[in-house]
Every structure is written in structure tokens, then in C-alpha cells.
Amino acid sequence: MLPSQLTPTFSLTLRIAAGYMVFRGIIGLVWPLLRLGPNHPEFQAQSLAYRMGAQSRELTLSALYVVVGVGLFWHHSWARWVALVLLVIASIYEANSFAWGFSDGPPTPRARLSSRFVVAAWNGLWFYLIYRAVL
């Protein structure tokens, strides 16, 4: 058997997706340190527990992005499935953050709906690329 047949194939598509996951995770971990997170008055008016919970959720998801991206680079079989689940879960939370980020004040129902479509399309692209890639 040739050495090239012994190593699993690692497509360029999966490398790009893994790189995106690591990049997305690092940005998400640095974002709160630069105070670029939610700064709108409605968020700041929430209790400290609420704000800490929201920041903890974002940091946890970002750390998972990094772990999954590294796992994809190292050809771990679990990383592909965790990445798919992570993209679905993150889409739920990211749509709301996206709506608040692009609205001046509380987002309108139209802005919330639009943000759901945009986030679903973006994360759906990554979901498809990871799902169809061969490990």
C-alpha cells in the first residue's frame, strides 16, 4: 500500500472550514476583552447576572469553535459532528445578536426575521461544507 493511501483525505474545503472555525472562535474570545460586545442601553440595563450569562454563553461557544476547528485539522472524527451541532446551536443565538447589532435600538420584527435568514444562510453554508467533506 502506498503511503498516500494510508493517510485520510483532507480536502481543501474542510481545511477552509476548520480555519474559519478557529478564526471565528478566536475573534469571539477576544471580542469581549476589547469591549466590542453588546453595548446598547437595553443590554447594559439588564442585571449583572444576565450580562455575565450572556457573555459566558458567547465565550463558551467561541471556545467550542476553537476546539472543533483544531479537532477538524487533526482529523478527529468527533469534530465533524460536534461542528455540525455547534453551528445549529450557535445560529439560534447569533441571529438575535446580529439583529441587535444592526438595529438602532431594539430590533424590529422585520430586522429579526432578516437576521435569521442571513445567519441561517451563513451558518448553513459552513454546515454544508463540513457535512459534505470527507474526513
Q: What is the DSSP string of 88-134?
A: HHHHHHHHHHHHHHHSSSSPPHHHHHHHHHHHHHHHHHHHHHHHH--
Amino acid at 34: L
Rounded to whole angstroms, the Cα distance separating 116 from 100 reads 12
Q: Could you give the number of structural domains in the chain?
A: 1
- Tens digit of pLDDT for each residue in 26-44? 999 998 778 777 777 777 7
Q: What does the chain come to in residues? A: 135
- Tens digit of pLDDT for each residue in 47-95? 889 888 888 888 999 999 999 999 999 989 899 999 999 999 999 988 9
* Three-state SS at 36: coil
Nearest to 107 by CA among 37, 45, 42, 47: 42
Domain carrying residue 19: 10-132
Asked whether residue 2 is assigned to any structural domain, the reply reads no
**pTM, 2 dp:** 0.83
Q: Which residue has the cell 472543533?
A: 68
Burial of 14 (0-12, 13-18, 19+ CB in 10 A): buried
Q: Which residue has the cell 472524527?
A: 77
